[in-house]
Chain A
């Protein structure tokens, strides 16, 4: 990874959007950085953690996003610069604090980066976090390029300090998780001593007076936005169509104009400060064209705000026609692509365009439809979650009372799909499987007879499920919580958490023992290794039979990708051809048809199972699945 900490002004390096944001924070002299990992935001704080020691920063993985924002805000209250980063769902968690912080204001530059995930590439939803800027009267930046991601972050710190307000940066997957050229600037040498000035008060009260002050600050931000270098226009004085865009829409729009060869017919107004809008600047450009197309990702935020502005000024501006999500020229769900923008402009200008010869498309589609099999997501080979869901499936079937599994956010969300044998039945917010179980566990008094099982990952447990577990004990709920302890925040890149004994910067940390917490919360606690399938099934069955109170079964087995980095494989696994009875076995290909670990294959020539040695990680679980004992494991 090209180091974000090199002091080489003028040097051009290849940076991920998230790394560019991290570099911008370093160039702004940030001192405290905090986050809970969540894609597509994780590399911002992850990158800063790697350089924390040499740059003299405090960088932490906080227990959740609200605490992360509070940690960064404390730095700001003490006069230092603080950075907080999160994904869109995280802002919901942090919003309770944020929507009071706007009224109390802050002191040292405080920047909150939210990386949205249009199309939910690595998320459960595709919410648009820009709405929080409007809700909280907070200034908002939207970077469109990697260079801009760095520059905007630096500017956001300055703006925050000038206004005494936190500033939001909204990135998206295609900026955060993409890479491009970034030219570096100087790293400052600052040594501000933190001090909490005792004559200052940080409180939203009195709410009305502070709300008024907040509006005044926002008006100042609006004036400053009028001159922002992040807002600019490219095009002629009388374009046939004006494209108004922000964020990732900017590069897609340029791409569309090149594809269609209409650079001289269309103007593009690119906005980087999208709340509050630079009103005079926007109105000046609306005058240029009668037809206006909005290009932005997820909600029609820019579209609605510009239309609102137009409504107040329509007498001066005359009739305009607006195109975008409301007119269905741009889809109102999913992410953007060069094709979507090209199609929209093509339709509006009524020009024809073919990206490749039609006969090629036809041939390629035919071949793909005939011979290319679908490839769905699944647990990695050797993943402990596959073993867990297998045991759950068998235990619930043996129990026979139609029990069900409530879940939430993590790698184990894949338990909804075929690789988790479709065992998980609910998925919402972090920790909400356990919260829902609290409720289901009360329904037996109304006649619910099915056993209630919740699954929760270790990092998710610390983040949001602890209150639910305390609630369960206090209110006398009855369910079984399977705590999937793979000793990592695996989904987002294996970040450490309070159970791993390691800090974000690689230092030693005290371990908050899951077993001890659950016991304190009044649960009956046991621990199993999910790779030991038989005893896992037996334990689950026994705990399901206990009809009183909260039971926690800790499924203890490290993430296969983490253990592969520092541990030898457990077993060499092989199929004994003589023992595998193939289609005649009567197991109906249990190993491949049902268990279907990617390390297993069905050899069509021999009609028997075999192991893909390039994929198998040697967990040995499949050897317990095979009824003919044909899959053998030997200690590696």
Chain B
């Protein structure tokens, strides 16, 4: 299996603290191990402080691309939060983009304070569906909470990413990489989170 396009541009985006940086690093390591040339650009300053964050991954067979994906040129969006998915599509989406979405919202401060409203999640999914060629969803946060800790949401999403079959990645490679990157005591839970994501993800068909 190969990447569908060269360079293949992935954005993993969400809210600071959701683990986009670690997810992009794990994915990058899985692909470097297969001989791909990877560049990852990250928004760091806000990473822990509740702001909107993104990691940009460029995957190529031959060239090192810049750490920022040009506007309008995202091929695959992994959105860890619904409205963050829309925010990223606004800037980086295009008619061929595919989106994998965690449907669990995190309310922005303006929504908590009542100065803004958070749209219905079904509405967000419908709009994302309209702006994407294919869409897959799951409530990764719920899956992680069932496992006992929301911290696993990003790993659940990586499992889902493996499950949708767009990228040349497998559970085997995931296991190899996290054995190097993460403390060994978390291995079983991370593998479980990965598997749960892979099982749970579903494609949203165009119903309109």
Residues of A within 8 A of B (CB): 1-2, 12-14, 39-40, 121-123, 145-147, 173-175, 177-181, 248, 251-252, 254-255, 259, 337-339, 342, 355-357, 360-361, 363-365, 367-368, 371-380, 411, 414, 418-419, 561, 589, 592-594, 596-598, 600-602, 612-615
**B130 shortest CB reach to chain A, Å:** 8
One of B73, B83, B90 near A373 (C-beta < 8 A): B83
- Tell me, in angstroms, the Cα distance from A602 to B145 when the chains sit together: 21
Q: What are 5 residue pairs bridging A and B, where the CB atoms are less than 8 Å apart in the complex?
A: A355-B72, A368-B90, A372-B86, A377-B16, A379-B49
Tell me if A371 and B124 are in contact (CB < 8 A).
yes
Chain B window 114-146, contacts with chain A (Cβ cutoff 8 Å), 1 for yes, 0 for no: 101111000110010011000000000100010
- Tell me, in angstroms, the Cα distance from A213 to B204 when the chains sit together: 71
Knowing that A375-B15, A375-B50 touch, tell me 6 more A-B residue pairs with CB under 8 angstroms.
A39-B45, A178-B42, A255-B65, A357-B94, A371-B123, A613-B145
- Contacts of B131 on A, CB cut-off 8 Å? 360, 363-364, 367
Chain B window 91-119, contacts with chain A (Cβ cutoff 8 Å), 1 for yes, 0 for no: 00111000000001011111111101111
Tell me if B66 and A377 are in contact (CB < 8 A).
no
* Residue of B32, B40, B45, B150 with highest tally of chain A CB at under 10 A: B45
One of A14, A174, A180 near B29 (C-beta < 8 A): A14
Tell me, yes or no, whether B159 is within 8 Å of chain A by CB: no
Residue of B nearest to A374 (CB): B110
Beyond A356-B95, A601-B107, whether A251 also contacts B66 by CB under 8 A is yes
- Tell me, in angstroms, the Cα distance from A411 to B38 when the chains sit together: 32
- Tell me, in angstroms, the Cα distance from A363 to B72 when the chains sit together: 13
Tell me if B83 and A371 are in contact (CB < 8 A).
yes
- Tell me, in angstroms, the Cα distance from A252 to B65 when the chains sit together: 8
Residue of B nearest to A342 (CB): B70
Beyond A178-B40, A178-B42, A380-B17, whether A2 also contacts B29 by CB under 8 A is yes
Tell me, yes or no, whether B170 is within 8 Å of chain A by CB: no
- Tell me, in angstroms, the Cα distance from A375 to B123 when the chains sit together: 19
- Tell me, in angstroms, the Cα distance from A613 to B146 when the chains sit together: 12
Tell me if B95 and A360 are in contact (CB < 8 A).
yes
- Tell me, in angstroms, the Cα distance from A372 to B121 when the chains sit together: 11
- Contacts of B45 on A, CB cut-off 8 Å? 39, 121-123
Residue of B nearest to A418 (CB): B109
One of A147, A372, A379 near B83 (C-beta < 8 A): A372
- Tell me, in angstroms, the Cα distance from A360 to B127 when the chains sit together: 12
Closest 10 CB pairs of A and B: A122-B45, A355-B72, A356-B72, A251-B66, A178-B67, A368-B90, A373-B116, A356-B94, A375-B108, A371-B119
- Tell me, in angstroms, the Cα distance from A592 to B123 when the chains sit together: 25
Beyond A251-B64, A371-B124, whether A376 also contacts B110 by CB under 8 A is yes
**B137 shortest CB reach to chain A, Å:** 17
- Contacts of B40 on A, CB cut-off 8 Å? 14, 178-180
- Contacts of B112 on A, CB cut-off 8 Å? 592, 596-598, 600-602
**B151 shortest CB reach to chain A, Å:** 9
**A453 shortest CB reach to chain B, Å:** 23
- Tell me, in angstroms, the Cα distance from A372 to B39 when the chains sit together: 29
Tell me, yes or no, whether B200 is within 8 Å of chain A by CB: no
* Residue of A40, A175, A356, A418 with highest tally of chain B CB at under 10 A: A356
- Tell me, in angstroms, the Cα distance from A561 to B25 when the chains sit together: 21
**A598 shortest CB reach to chain B, Å:** 6
- Tell me, in angstroms, the Cα distance from A378 to B89 when the chains sit together: 24
Residue of A nearest to B81 (CB): A375
One of A252, A380, A589, A600 near B66 (C-beta < 8 A): A252
**B52 shortest CB reach to chain A, Å:** 5
* Residue of A259, A367, A411, A419 with highest tally of chain B CB at under 10 A: A367
**B67 shortest CB reach to chain A, Å:** 4
Tell me, yes or no, whether B68 is within 8 Å of chain A by CB: yes
- Contacts of B90 on A, CB cut-off 8 Å? 364-365, 367-368, 372
Tell me if B107 and A259 are in contact (CB < 8 A).
no
**A3 shortest CB reach to chain B, Å:** 8
- Tell me, in angstroms, the Cα distance from A594 to B114 when the chains sit together: 10
**A576 shortest CB reach to chain B, Å:** 19
- Tell me, in angstroms, the Cα distance from A55 to B32 when the chains sit together: 26
Tell me if B37 and A181 are in contact (CB < 8 A).
yes
Tell me, yes or no, whether B46 is within 8 Å of chain A by CB: yes
One of A180, A251, A252, A373 near B108 (C-beta < 8 A): A373
* Residue of A1, A121, A371, A613 with highest tally of chain B CB at under 10 A: A371
Tell me if A561 and B48 are in contact (CB < 8 A).
yes
- Tell me, in angstroms, the Cα distance from A147 to B43 when the chains sit together: 21
* Residue of A12, A355, A371, A372 with highest tally of chain B CB at under 10 A: A372
- Contacts of A179 on B, CB cut-off 8 Å? 24-25, 28, 38-40, 42
- Tell me, in angstroms, the Cα distance from A255 to B73 when the chains sit together: 12
Tell me if A356 and B116 are in contact (CB < 8 A).
no
Tell me if A181 and B95 are in contact (CB < 8 A).
no
Tell me, yes or no, whether B71 is within 8 Å of chain A by CB: yes
Tell me if A255 and B71 are in contact (CB < 8 A).
no
Residue of B nearest to A371 (CB): B119
**B141 shortest CB reach to chain A, Å:** 5
**B103 shortest CB reach to chain A, Å:** 13
One of B51, B64, B86, B106 near A180 (C-beta < 8 A): B64
Tell me if B83 and A355 are in contact (CB < 8 A).
no
Tell me if B110 and A2 are in contact (CB < 8 A).
no
Residues from 13 to 39 in B contacting A, C-beta threshold 8 Å: 15-17, 24-25, 28-29, 32, 37-39
Tell me, yes or no, whether B180 is within 8 Å of chain A by CB: yes
Tell me if A372 and B87 are in contact (CB < 8 A).
yes
**A183 shortest CB reach to chain B, Å:** 11
Tell me if B66 and A374 are in contact (CB < 8 A).
no
Residue of B nearest to A14 (CB): B32
Residue of A nearest to B32 (CB): A14
* Residue of B28, B71, B95, B141 with highest tally of chain A CB at under 10 A: B71
Beyond A375-B50, A375-B51, whether A598 also contacts B109 by CB under 8 A is yes
Tell me if B93 and A364 are in contact (CB < 8 A).
yes
Tell me if B73 and A356 are in contact (CB < 8 A).
yes
- Contacts of B127 on A, CB cut-off 8 Å? 367, 371
Tell me if A368 and B29 are in contact (CB < 8 A).
no
Residue of B nearest to A174 (CB): B67
- Tell me, in angstroms, the Cα distance from A373 to B116 when the chains sit together: 6
Residue of B nearest to A601 (CB): B107
Tell me if A373 and B113 are in contact (CB < 8 A).
no
Residue of A nearest to B40 (CB): A179
- Tell me, in angstroms, the Cα distance from A380 to B44 when the chains sit together: 15
**B138 shortest CB reach to chain A, Å:** 15
Beyond A174-B68, A181-B37, A371-B123, whether A376 also contacts B114 by CB under 8 A is no
- Tell me, in angstroms, the Cα distance from A592 to B37 when the chains sit together: 46
- Contacts of B113 on A, CB cut-off 8 Å? 418, 592-594, 596
Tell me if A593 and B71 are in contact (CB < 8 A).
no
- Tell me, in angstroms, the Cα distance from A363 to B95 when the chains sit together: 11
- Contacts of B66 on A, CB cut-off 8 Å? 174, 248, 251-252, 254-255, 338
- Tell me, in angstroms, the Cα distance from A180 to B104 when the chains sit together: 31
Tell me, yes or no, whether B3 is within 8 Å of chain A by CB: no
Beyond A376-B108, A598-B109, whether A364 also contacts B41 by CB under 8 A is no
* Residue of A361, A419, A561 with highest tally of chain B CB at under 10 A: A361
- Contacts of A597 on B, CB cut-off 8 Å? 112
- Tell me, in angstroms, the Cα distance from A183 to B37 when the chains sit together: 11
- Contacts of A598 on B, CB cut-off 8 Å? 50, 106-107, 109, 112
**A10 shortest CB reach to chain B, Å:** 14
